[in-house]
Amino acid sequence: EEKETVKSENKEVLIQDARTGLTVEALKKAILNNLFYVQGKYPEIATRNDYYMALSFAVRDRLLQRWTSSVKQYLEGKNRVVSYLSAEYLLGPHLANNLINLGIYKEMEQATQELGVNLQWLIDKEVEPGLGNGGLGRLAACYMDSLATLEVPAIGYGIRYQFGIFEQDIRDGWQVEDTDNWLRRGNPWEIARRELNYEVKLGGYVQHYMDRDGRYRSNWMPELTVKGVAYDTPILGYKVNTCNALRLWKSEAPKSFDFQSFNSGDYNHAVNQKIICENISKVLYPNDETISGKILRLQQQYFFVSCSLQDMIGIHLRQGEKIEDFNVTFAVQLNDTHPAIAIAEMMRLLLDEHDLEWVDAWRVTTRTFAYTNHTLLPEALETWDLELFGSVLPRHLELIYEINKRFLDEVTIKVYGDHQKISSLSIIGEGPRKFIKMANLACVGSFAINGVAALHSDLLKKTVLKDWYAYSPEKFSNKTNGVTPRRWMVLSNPKLTALISEKIGENWIKHLDELKNLEQYADDPEFQKSWMQVKLEMKQELAKRILGKTGVKVDPESMFDIQVKRIHEYKRQHLNVLHLITLYNRLKQNPKMDMVPRTFIFAGKAAPGYKMAKLIIKLITSVGDLVNNDPDVNHRLKVVFYPNYNVTNAQRIYPAADLSEQISTAGKEASGTGNMKLSMNGALTIGTLDGANVEIREVVGEENFFLFGLTAEEVTQKRNEGYDPYTYYKSNKELKLAIDQIASGYFSHLDDKIFKDLVNNLIYHDPFLVLADYESYVACQDKVSEAFRDKAAWARMSILNTARMGKFSSDRSIREYCDDIWKVKSVPVHLNGDS
Ligand code: GPK
């Protein structure tokens, strides 16, 4: 009954102006209307959340008009659709972003003002959907924005986690985690599509039999069946009518199941099974770039992939197309290996459910998928214990064996006798226990493989995917990451946006290359003054928030030295701390010294099980406690750990940055995207030749970038020579002092045990060459400080950074994916009812 549609005499739905109008009057009406009819409140008794909801529904109505128009256009046109599969979407708050993309921010500001409420106050009420860990999830969100802005038909598929990334609190200097109950007050941005649901099997075994036509068949008898229900969030492009869907799956118990168990009288069993089903989409795994190998995580991956592929096949077949032409309708991008099980699931659906022969199914599959790799850390490449895998996905294990067998037969012929190569290309890893290599499954089943920055793509070919590159070089390409200027400039930095637009118009928001027109003002003293005034105001705002959140008073005139990102040893927050301690010691030893005042700002979450990362947070807060309370230094040095780094907080931090810390060990950061956001907002970068830093330096000019450290090649060489951190520790006085202080408990009330693991790791192992880069880093930081003294020169460099960042718009990235990989074109959307 749910699938029935309403047939109406009136084909054209009457669209009320109060639901779609963009004028101040229409918006006011809409807000009051929603307050009354949706929230059941009148203005005098409405709460802040009531207003937030009413406003959001008013905005959503306007999105839905564009959404239905987009769907209509897509279905009529038979256009190839991009399907982005990602286990994470780190969207950030919707309301303000949608106001900007609708082009009604000013109008809404006035409408709310006339109703006696403050727009920013309502915007700040939104709890952001933190359905991702860090860079990878945020990239997916930027790409959804750019796909819609470029008017590309696209669907984003993922998981509707009931609990997103944990909330971070700092207690006694340590990270403590709290659950992220983001749906608590309701989510006005999603639409539950109860009628859109699919069954997903899990566990059990496979029966084999011959059917009446003599065809060999498989019948998967699952232990459990779960149901995935679609929840859609409209994603509107910037000042276009294109509104794409982000379709997230929620897991539930299927009706049939309730029936069976409840009727058989085993109530407890039935309730337990229901809980097991609902658990699948319950919580986001908080590990970033680490594998945990947990059954539930594999179930999550398979769950959302299966729902998504069933959904796509449904869409394809409903258009009257043949299953063999699936790849004409959809181009499916795998965001890392998390959805790579899609390769096997596609084969299962084509073979077992749609009766294709193997070669035909494999042809369709390998013309459908493309795979993006996001990491060079070998320990981050996903594998599954084969037995565990088989216990969850018995049919897929068979299929993977068959895929592997056919593939290795082909390999054996090509690489004759090279066993090393054969085993490296095999999807199945041998050892004390066999395991499934998801990157290999992704590579064998995809027609395109890409890295996320030039250096990363190059290193992929030389390291983790070397044998794949040798085997199929034609599959490889680079797609340097980008970020959306709508959220990361227009929304987060409205003052800078206004200043830029005053000079060069507003075109840059959609064509970021036009920022280069700012270059002509880089030496203009008036413009420099306005530019630095905006920066100062943003620093003042952040200073207020810092005081409120941490109790630390910081000087907005000091240099804001900012490192915000997940805490990871390869990102080397501890290298930053060593510099900080060095400055502290210099000041203590020479209190009269003329030093450029700095505020060190850190933010970022540590994976709850990652001991060393949590210890690094404790180190930062411990050094901060001492420095911030020492009157000898605290008017020139301050240390802040800004808690609970997320999209909302990132938007407030980037505009206030003078210096952007991008100091990962060369060859370890695939791209980085915070580096782009900071530079766009006028921060200068101190960084290694790693990830996209290389390309940022290329475009902004080496004279506007503070470079230090070993290159990726030198890092490898150093390791091969037998790197000994202890010699660096012994031979550099300032370094030794800093490390000895940490070890002796100088920053921890004389507790000499607490940082022991960290210190020993650094002086005896130092896998990320912190000590090797220390001297070069500190020397470079000295240059940064000198440069900061010359305000005009700094302003010039800052302006040039922003002016030259055009390349790093996610619009550019998405255009490259569209042209080179997906082969899709823009499809402009006309509003329904417009004639
Ligand atoms: C890479 F492998 C992973 C991962 O599991 N999570 C994640 O956020 C990041 N990433 C890289 O570390 C960044 O360098 C990169 O910019 C980002 O993915 C997007 O490509």
**pLDDT above 90 (res 411):** yes
Q: How many domains does the chain have?
A: 2
Q: Are residues 455 and 553 in the same domain?
A: no
Assess whether the C-beta atom of 646 lies below 6 angstroms from ligand 1: no
Assess whether the C-beta atom of 132 lies below 6 angstroms from ligand 1: no
**pLDDT above 50 (res 11):** no
Assess whether the C-beta atom of 335 lies below 6 angstroms from ligand 1: no
Q: Which has the higher per-residue pLDDT, 19 or 516? A: 516
Assess whether the C-beta atom of 86 lies below 6 angstroms from ligand 1: no
Assess whether the C-beta atom of 136 lies below 6 angstroms from ligand 1: yes
* pLDDT tens digits, 103-135: 999 999 999 999 999 999 999 999 999 999 999
* pLDDT tens digits, 545-567: 999 999 999 999 999 999 999 99
pLDDT value of residue 259: 55
Q: Are residues 691 and 789 in the same domain?
A: yes
Assess whether the C-beta atom of 691 lies below 6 angstroms from ligand 1: yes
673 catalytic residue (yes or no): yes
| Contacts of 74 by beta carbon, 8 Å cutoff, 6+ apart | 81, 153, 827
User: Rounded CA gap, 632 and 206, in Å?
Assistant: 73
Using the atom order of ligand 1, give the atom closest to the CA of residue 691. Answer: 14
Assess whether the C-beta atom of 604 lies below 6 angstroms from ligand 1: no
Contact 54, 109 (CB under 8 A): no
**Does some domain include residue 8?**
no
| Strands in 66-210 per DSSP E | 81-85, 89-90, 130-131, 154-159, 167-171, 174-178, 191-202, 205-210
Does an H or E element contain 736, and which? helix 733-744
Using the atom order of ligand 1, give the atom closest to the CA of residue 377. Answer: 2
Question: In a mutational test of the pocket of ligand 1, which residue from 88, 138, 146, 289 has the highest number of ligand atoms less than 8 Å from its CB?
Answer: 289
Contact 596, 555 (CB under 8 A): no
Q: How much is the ipTM here? A: 0.98
Among 80, 247, 297, 374, the active-site one is 374
Q: Are residues 230 and 337 in the same domain?
A: yes
Q: Are residues 457 and 567 in the same domain?
A: no
The Å distance, Cα 501 to ligand 1 centre, comes to: 32
The Å distance, Cα 673 to ligand 1 centre, comes to: 9
The Å distance, Cα 57 to ligand 1 centre, comes to: 34
**Does some domain include residue 385?**
no
Tokens coding 750: 């004389």
The Å distance, Cα 599 to ligand 1 centre, comes to: 27
The Å distance, Cα 98 to ligand 1 centre, comes to: 26
* pLDDT tens digits, 601-635: 999 999 999 999 999 999 999 999 999 999 999 89
Q: Are residues 309 and 201 in the same domain?
A: yes
Assess whether the C-beta atom of 497 lies below 6 angstroms from ligand 1: no
Using the atom order of ligand 1, give the atom closest to the CA of residue 134. Answer: 8
Decide: residue 77, CB within 10 A, 0-12 exposed, 13-18 middle, 19+ buried. Answer: exposed
Residue nearest to atom 10 of ligand 1 (CA): 136
The Å distance, Cα 147 to ligand 1 centre, comes to: 20
| Contacts of 109 by beta carbon, 8 Å cutoff, 6+ apart | 119
Assess whether the C-beta atom of 372 lies below 6 angstroms from ligand 1: no
Question: In a mutational test of the pocket of ligand 1, which residue from 374, 479, 675, 808 has the highest number of ligand atoms less than 8 Å from its CB?
Answer: 374
Which amino acid makes up residue 32?
L
Question: In a mutational test of the pocket of ligand 1, which residue from 84, 89, 136 has the highest number of ligand atoms less than 8 Å from its CB?
Answer: 136
User: Rounded CA gap, 348 and 220, in Å?
Assistant: 10
Among 28, 568, 571, 812, the active-site one is 571
Q: Which has the higher per-residue pLDDT, 6 or 334? A: 334
Q: Are strands 435-437 and 446-451 parallel, antiparallel or unpaired?
A: unpaired
Residue nearest to atom 16 of ligand 1 (CA): 672
Decide: residue 321, CB within 10 A, 0-12 exposed, 13-18 middle, 19+ buried. Answer: middle
Q: Examine the fold and report which residue of 461, 495, 514 is the final residue of a domain before the chain moves on.
A: 461
Among 19, 66, 479, 566, the active-site one is 566
> Can you tell me the mean pLDDT for 503-522?
98
Assess whether the C-beta atom of 135 lies below 6 angstroms from ligand 1: yes
Using the atom order of ligand 1, give the atom closest to the CA of residue 137. Answer: 8
Assess whether the C-beta atom of 88 lies below 6 angstroms from ligand 1: no
* pLDDT tens digits, 643-682: 999 999 999 999 999 999 999 999 999 999 999 999 999 9
CA–chain centroid gap for 68, Å, is: 27
pLDDT value of residue 1: 35
Q: Are residues 215 and 312 in the same domain?
A: yes
374 catalytic residue (yes or no): yes
Q: Are residues 455 and 538 in the same domain?
A: no
Listed range (20-24, 424-428, 680-684, 788-792) with the worst mean pLDDT: 20-24
Using the atom order of ligand 1, give the atom closest to the CA of residue 456. Answer: 14
Q: Are residues 374 and 516 in the same domain?
A: no
**pLDDT above 70 (res 209):** yes
Q: Are residues 365 and 511 in the same domain?
A: no
> Can you tell me the mean pLDDT for 84-91?
98
Tokens coding 402: 């068959």
Which amino acid makes up residue 471?
Y
> Can you tell me the mean pLDDT for 259-282?
83
> Can you tell me the mean pLDDT for 760-784?
98
**Does some domain include residue 28?**
no
**Does some domain include residue 104?**
no
Tokens coding 18: 């109060």
CATH code assigned at 215: 3.40.50.2000
Q: What is the dihedral of CA 583, 586, 592, 595, to 10 degrees?
A: -30
Tokens coding 736: 């030794």
**Does some domain include residue 347?**
yes
Tokens coding 646: 């997320």
Using the atom order of ligand 1, give the atom closest to the CA of residue 372. Answer: 20
Contact 383, 436 (CB under 8 A): yes
Kindly state the percentage of the chain with pLDDT values over 70.
97
Assess whether the C-beta atom of 375 lies below 6 angstroms from ligand 1: yes
Assess whether the C-beta atom of 139 lies below 6 angstroms from ligand 1: yes
User: Rounded CA gap, 575 and 774, in Å?
Assistant: 7
Residue nearest to atom 1 of ligand 1 (CA): 374
* pLDDT tens digits, 777-824: 999 999 999 999 999 999 999 999 999 999 999 999 999 999 999 999
Assess whether the C-beta atom of 528 lies below 6 angstroms from ligand 1: no
**Does some domain include residue 619?**
yes
Q: Among positive and negative, which fits the CA dihedral 453, 459, 461, 464?
A: negative
pLDDT value of residue 291: 81
Using the atom order of ligand 1, give the atom closest to the CA of residue 289. Answer: 5
Among 60, 160, 677, 697, the active-site one is 677
**pLDDT above 50 (res 704):** yes
565 catalytic residue (yes or no): yes
Q: Are residues 796 and 666 in the same domain?
A: yes
Using the atom order of ligand 1, give the atom closest to the CA of residue 481. Answer: 20
Domain that holds residue 163: 78-93+128-379+451-461
Among 621, 673, 688, 802, the active-site one is 673
Residue nearest to atom 5 of ligand 1 (CA): 289
Using the atom order of ligand 1, give the atom closest to the CA of residue 336. Answer: 2
Using the atom order of ligand 1, give the atom closest to the CA of residue 670. Answer: 14
pLDDT value of residue 258: 57
**Does some domain include residue 61?**
no
Contact 475, 493 (CB under 8 A): no
Which amino acid makes up residue 576?
N
> Can you tell me the mean pLDDT for 37-61?
96
**Does some domain include residue 547?**
yes
Assess whether the C-beta atom of 811 lies below 6 angstroms from ligand 1: no
Assess whether the C-beta atom of 483 lies below 6 angstroms from ligand 1: no
Assess whether the C-beta atom of 374 lies below 6 angstroms from ligand 1: yes
The Å distance, Cα 795 to ligand 1 centre, comes to: 31
Q: Are residues 651 and 543 in the same domain?
A: yes
Rg (CA), the chain: 28
Average pLDDT score, the chain: 96
566 catalytic residue (yes or no): yes
Assess whether the C-beta atom of 452 lies below 6 angstroms from ligand 1: yes
Q: Are residues 456 and 538 in the same domain?
A: no
Residue nearest to atom 4 of ligand 1 (CA): 289
